Homo-oligomer: A and B are copies of this chain.
Amino acid sequence: MTSNPPTARTRLRRLHERGRHDSDSIHAVLDAGLLCHIGYVVDGGPVVTPTLHWREGERVYWHGSAASRMVRHLAEGHPLCLTVSHFDGMVMARSAFHHSVNYRSAMLFGTARAITDPEAKTRHLKAFMERWFPGRWDELRSIHAQELKATTVLSMAIDEASTKMRAGPPKDDEEDYALPIWAGVLPLNTVVGEPEPCPRLAEGVAAPAYLRAFAPK
């Protein structure tokens, strides 16, 4: 289990018993879902953009249109913060103050590198697809050189990172437990609905098995 020694930014100031810096914990939070929020600074002001990420080893990846402001800015090597949050439940205590949230989150700091080699780009985009839909990449119409050119793949080392989480029932003041107030957790889950076939689906094309296995948080 590799450890990422805390820096001034990833040292957990509050509720540090909820935090972890080891790779396994960080990878688990990254790998549980696809949606991240990336923060960066434009003209001195912060911008937070949602995008999809994936992990390969000790690096995190995302992609976007080569024309996107976020992509162009980050490809220049400006500092960024990539945060992934899974909202697992509302924690309802006997006092407003002790209400809380069950969650898992990861916060990564660093700078991105753009992958320019078309073959490397293709390999990483395939890894993204295969992470969630194994086998789909080879079924697809193959990627055009022009599409690859219009797509930027960015990656960042996972070396300045932390996770934080909370799980379990509410914690109330000792004297409040006896109060006749409902307390507990409302669990929140992401569920995948029935696949909605494209209205122009070619005749006789069945839903692939990997659709059933898709289970992001």
Q: Which residues of chain A have a CB within 8 Å of any CB of chain B?
A: 9, 13-14, 34-35, 37-42, 44-50, 52, 65, 67-69, 79-83, 85, 87, 89-90, 92, 94-97, 99, 101, 103, 105, 107, 109, 125, 129, 132-133, 136-137, 139-141, 143-144, 147, 150-151, 169-170, 172-173, 176-202, 204-208, 211, 214, 216
Kindly name the residue among A109, A139, A200 whose own CB sees the greatest number of chain B CB atoms within 10 A.
Answer: A200
Copies of this chain assembled into the complex: 2
> How far, in whole Å, are A144 and B69 apart by their CA atoms in the complex?
47
CB <8 Å contact, B198 and A214 = no
Residues of B within 8 A of A182 (CB): 139, 197, 201, 205-208, 211
Return the contact of A97 from the options B151, B195, B205 (Cβ within 8 A).
B151
Return the contact of A46 from the options B41, B50, B68, B105 (Cβ within 8 A).
B41
Residues of B within 8 A of A196 (CB): 89, 169, 184-187
CB <8 Å contact, A65 and B179 = no
Residues of B within 8 A of A14 (CB): 65, 67-69
Residue of B nearest to A108 (CB): B48
CB <8 Å contact, A193 and B183 = no
> How far, in whole Å, are A143 and B189 apart by their CA atoms in the complex?
30
CB <8 Å contact, A198 and B216 = no
CB <8 Å contact, B139 and A181 = yes
CB <8 Å contact, B205 and A140 = no
CB <8 Å contact, A101 and B52 = yes
